[in-house]
Amino acid sequence: MTRVAIIYYSSGGTIGRLAESVCAGAAGSGAQVRTTELPASDSGSLADALAALEWADGVVFGTPACFGNVATPVKRLIDGAWPLWQQEKLSNKVVAGFTAAGSEHGGHESTLLALFQSVYHWGSLIVPAGYADPAVRRAGGNPYGVSARAHRDGSVDDVALDAARYLGQRIAAFAALLCREPAGVAG
């Protein structure tokens, strides 16, 4: 069974709600799904998230936009994945991302691109949202991944939740196709 991990940080609940939709999409596509919320504090354990990262064929990261970049707890996990990278355990996974930002043009794309920059080093394969499904356009048309406007009350627009569900379906489909050991790829 294809294994999908959703790993996210959320301080106000927006990213958490999007994570639920990504989870529903991946699970609805038949994947086994593991969802892990990252601790806010530097002293919180990363053990669960690192175990999920190692376990998964497909990983979807969720992070708020923080000055156009990934939030510190997500960056802490990325840096903490160094031993997995050293052991070649991150190669050939598929990875996608979702974000939220307070402003309409407050760094949705730059946050996802910042996230993906490390993914190249891992040798994982990035799965962008593209425009392969109308749900992406309805949510504002971010081809890099799913993004939402963060509202003060923590609510999330239905169009963004739909796009997140689609992203879950999409990562499950690509994880099933490629899994961890595609023919002819060393590692």
Ligand X SMILES: Cc1cc2nc3c(=O)[nH]c(=O)nc-3n(C[C@H](O)[C@H](O)[C@H](O)COP(=O)(O)O)c2cc1C
Residues engaged in binding ligand X (CB under 6 A):
10-15, 64-68, 100-103, 106-107, 150, 154
Whether 59 contacts 4, CB under 8 Å: yes
| 16 vs 123, beta carbon nearer ligand X | 16
Smallest distance from ligand X to CB 128, Å: 20
Separation of alpha carbons 187 and 164, rounded Å: 30
Smallest distance from ligand X to CB 102, Å: 4
The helix/strand/coil state of 166 is helix
The encoded tokens of residue 179 equal 């899994």
Looking up tokens 């939030």 gives 71
| 80 vs 106, beta carbon nearer ligand X | 106
Within 13 Å of residue 49, how many CA atoms lie on the same side as its CB?
24
Whether 69 contacts 116, CB under 8 Å: no
Whether 6 contacts 22, CB under 8 Å: yes
Separation of alpha carbons 43 and 111, rounded Å: 24
DSSP letter assigned to residue 66: B
| 10 vs 29, beta carbon nearer ligand X | 10
Smallest distance from ligand X to CB 18, Å: 8
Q: At what angle are helices 158-178 and 14-28 packed, to 10 degrees?
A: 50
Smallest distance from ligand X to CB 125, Å: 26
| 34 vs 108, beta carbon nearer ligand X | 108
What is the number of the residue whose Cβ is closest to ligand X? Answer: 106
| 22 vs 94, beta carbon nearer ligand X | 22
| 104 vs 184, beta carbon nearer ligand X | 104
Smallest distance from ligand X to CB 106, Å: 2
Smallest distance from ligand X to CB 2, Å: 26
